[in-house]
Structure 1
C-alpha cells in the first residue's frame, strides 16, 4: 500500500513540474515575441514616415502593394442619387525589409498589431467615395500581421457609399456598371504601385441578395491617372448589376395595361350615357397621370428619354385618345340629330309644295278642259329626242360590269348613325394599335438589351 502511495505522489509531482515548465515556456515565448517587437519597432530603430524599398531592396524602385478584398454585402443601389453602399474587408500586402525577424525555428509565424500608425502604410483612398466609416464594435475591426520575411498584411472592415453614374435610357430593362476605385493620394508611380493580388483578388459572399438587382459578374482592372503633379497608381473593380424586371412588370407595366383596357370600356357604352363615359375617361386619365408622376418621382430628372417614359407616355396617349373619342362621338351624334331634323323639315316643305302644285294643276286642267286638243305622237323618234337619249343611257349602264361590293362599307352600313360607326371602329382600332405598339416596344428594347450585353 505504501509503495502505491509513493507512485501516485511521484506522478503528481511530475505533472506539476511539467505544467510549470510549459507555463514557463509560454511565458518565455511571449517574452521573446515582445523582444522581437521591441527589436524591430523600438524607438530609433524604425521610422514609419519612410516608405519601404522596392523589389530586392532596391532603393529607387517603387514599393509594390498587392490588394485584395472580400465583399460582405451590398445594401442598396439608389437610382435617384446614383450611388450604392457596400461593406467589405479590405486587405493590402507589401514587403518591408526593415521588419524582418527571427521566427525561432518556425515557432513564431507572425506578429500581430492593432495600431496602424506603428508601421508605414500606403496612402490609399477610394476616389468615388461619398461616405465611409470604420467598424469599432466591440473592438476596432483592423489588424496588421508582420511575417518573418518582412511581409506586412493589413486588413480592415469598412462600409462605403460610392458614386455610381448610371445610364437610364433602357430603364427598367437596363444593366448598370458600378465601380469601386482605389488610388494613391500622394505617392506617384515612381514611389508606389498598387497591384491586384494573383488568384481571386475580389471575393463575394455566396448568399449575396439584392432586392431589385442581381450581381452578374465583376471585373478587375487598372485606372492609373495622370495629373500635372505626376502619375498615380489606381485600381478598380467593375460590378455589373442586372435590374430585376419582375418587380416593374407587376408594379408598372401590368397596371398601365389595365388602365388602358379600362378606358376602352367607354366604346361599348351607349352614346347617350354621357355621365358614365365622361367619368370613366377622366378617372382613367387622372389615374394614369398619377402613376406616371409616381414613377418619375423615384428617378432623377435626366435630359434623355427612358424606356419607361415611352411606355407611360404612350399609355397616357391611349387613355387621352379614348376620352377624345367620346367627345367626337358626342359631336357626331348631335350633328346627326340636327341633320335629321333639317331633313324632316325639308321633307315636310317638299310635301307641302307638291300638294300645292297638284292643286294648282287640277284647277288649271278644269279651266282649259273645253279648249283641250290632243296631239299625235310620232311613231319614230328623232336622234336628238330626250326620251331616246335617256333610254340609250340606261342601256349603257346595264352593259357595264357590276362593281365588287366593299366589305367594310357593307359592314359599316349596318350601323345607321355616324357616332355608332365611330364607336365600332374604335373598338377594333385601339386594341390593334396598342398590340402593335407592344410588339415594337418589347422587340426594340429587348434587342437593345442584348446588344448592350454582348458589347
Structure 2
C-alpha cells in the first residue's frame, strides 16, 4: 500500500511541474513578443512619418500597397439623392523592411496591433464618399498584423454612403452602375501606388439581399487622376445593379392600365346619363394625376424624359381623351336633337300643305278618273322593275365577309351621330392603347439590352 501511494505522489508532483513549466514557457513567449515589439517599434527605432522603401529596399521606388475588400451588405440605393450605402471590410497590405523580426523558429507567426498610429499608413480616401463612420462596438473593429518578413496587413470595418450618378432614361427598366473609388490624397504615384490584390480582390457576402435591385456583377479597374500637383494612384469597383421590375409592374403599370380601362366604361353608358359619365371621367382623371405625381415625387427632377414619364403621360392622355369624348358626344347629341326638331317642323309643314291640297281636290266635282290598263307595255316602268328583281334573285349568293359581319353588329349608319361616336370609341380606344403597349414594351425592352454597357 505504501508503495502505491508513493507512485501516485510522484505522478502528481510531475504533472504539477510540467504545468508550471508550460506556464513559464507561455510567459516567456509573451515576454519575447513584447521584446520584439519594443525592438521594432521602440522609441527612437521606428518613425511612422517616413514611408517604407520600394521593392527590394529601393529608396526611389514607390511603395506598393495591395488592396482587397469584402462587401458585407448594401443597405439602400436612393434614386432621389443618387447615392447608395455599403458596409465593407477594407484591407491593405504592404511591406516595410524596418518591421522585420525573428519569428523564433516559426513559433511567432505575426504580431497584432490595434493602434494604427504606431506604424506608417497609406493616405487612402474614398473620393466619392458622402458620409462614413467606423465601427467601435464593443471594441474598434480594426487590427494591424506585422509578419516576420516585414509585411503589414491593415484591416478595418467601415460603413460608407457613396455618390452614384444615375441615368434614369429607362426607369424602371434600367440598370445602374455605382462605383466605389479609392485614391491617395497626398502621395503621388512617384511615392505610392495602389494595386488590386491578385486572385480575388473583391468578395461579396452570399445571399446579398436588396429590396428593389439585384447585384448582377462587379468589375475592378484603375482610375489614376492627374491634377496640377501631380498624378495620384486610384482604384475603383464598378457595381452593376439591375432594378427589380416586378415591384413597379404591380404598383404602377397594372393600376394605370386599370384606370385607363375604367375610363372606357363611359362609352357604354347611355348618352343621357350625364352625371354618371362626368363623375367617371373626372374621377379617373384625378386618380391618374395623383398616381403620376406620386411617382414623380420619389424621383429627382431631371431634364430628360424617362420611360415611366412616357407611360404615365400616355395613360393620362387616354383618360383625358375619354372625358373629351363625352363632351363631343354631348355636343353631337344636342345637335341631333336640334336637327330632329327642324325635320319635325318641316314634316308638319309638308303635311299641312298636303291636307290643304286634298281639300281642294275633294271640292272639285268635275274630276275624272282614268282607267288603268290591264296589260303592261314592255316599256312600262313597273315591268322593268319586276324584271330587275328577277335578275337579282337569279344571281348566285355571295360568300359572307367576316369583317363586314362583325362590323354589322355596330349599326353606325342607323344610329345618330352622338351614338356613332360612342360606337367608334369603343373600338378605337382599345386598339390604339394596345398598339401603344406593343410599341412601348418592344422599344424599351430592346433599348435596355442595347444600352447595357459595362
1:299 and 1:345 mapped to 2: Cα distance? 55
Partner SS state of residue 130, structure 1: strand
Output the CA distance in 2 between the equivalents of 1:362 and 1:208: 98
**1:60-103, CA deviations, whole angstroms, 9 ceiling, x for partnerless residues?**
00000000000000000000000000000000000000000000
Contact 1:90 1:158 in 2 (8 A): yes
Partners of 1:56 and 1:239 lie apart in 2 by 36
Shift in alpha-carbon separation, 1:358–1:100, aligned structure 2, 3 A: closer
Partner of residue 338, structure 1: none
Q: Corresponding residue for 2:364?
A: 369
Cα distance in 2 between the residues matched to 1:20 and 1:342: 117
Residue in 1 aligned with 2:227? 227
Range that drifts further, 444-453 or 74-83: 444-453
Normalised to the residue count of structure 1, the TM-score between the two structures is 0.87
Between the aligned partners of 1:78 and 1:355, the Cα distance in structure 2 is: 78
Secondary structure of 2:452's aligned partner:
helix
Change in Cα spacing, 1:387 to 1:16, as seen in structure 2 (3 Å) is closer
- In structure 1, the gaps of 5 or more residues are 336-340
CA contact (8 A) 1:133 1:159 kept: yes
Could you give the per-residue CA deviations for residues 117-167 of structure 1, whole angstroms, max 9, x where no partner exists? Answer: 000000000000000000000000000000000000000000000000000
Does structure 2 retain, via aligned residues, the 8 Å contact 1:77–1:83? yes
- Cα distance in 1 for partners of 2:354, 2:241 equals 94
Would the aligned equivalents of 1:412 and 1:421 in 2 still touch at CA under 8 Å?
Answer: no
Q: 1:152 to 1:441 in 2, by over 3 A?
A: same
CA pair 307-398 structure 1, distance change in 2 beyond 3 A: same
179-188 or 323-332, which deviates more: 323-332
Tell me how far 1:361 sits from its aligned partner.
Answer: 9.6
- Equivalent residues, number: 450
Tell me the equivalent position of 1:314: 314
Change (3 A) 1:358 1:406: farther
In structure 2, C-alpha distance between the alignment counterparts of 1:275 and 1:382, rounded to whole Å = 64
RMSD: 4.4
363 and 27 in structure 1: CA distance in 2 versus 1, 3 angstrom threshold: closer
**For residues 452 and 340 of structure 2, what CA distance do their matches in structure 1 show?**
72
Deviations 1:282-341 (A, max 9, x none): 111111110000000000000000011111111111111111111111111111xxxxx8
Q: Any conservation in 2 of the 1:173–1:243 contact (CA below 8 Å)? A: yes
- After the TM superposition, which of the residue ranges 380-389 and 155-164 deviates more from structure 2? 380-389
Question: What's the CA shift for 1:451?
Answer: 1.2
CA 1:265–1:68 in 2, change beyond 3 Å: closer, same or farther? same
1:63 corresponds in structure 2 to 63
Deviation of the 1:380 alpha carbon: 21
Q: What is the rounded CA distance, in whole Å, between the counterparts of 2:358 and 2:436 in structure 1?
A: 72
Which runs of at least 4 in structure 1 moved beyond 3 Å after TM superposition? 341-417
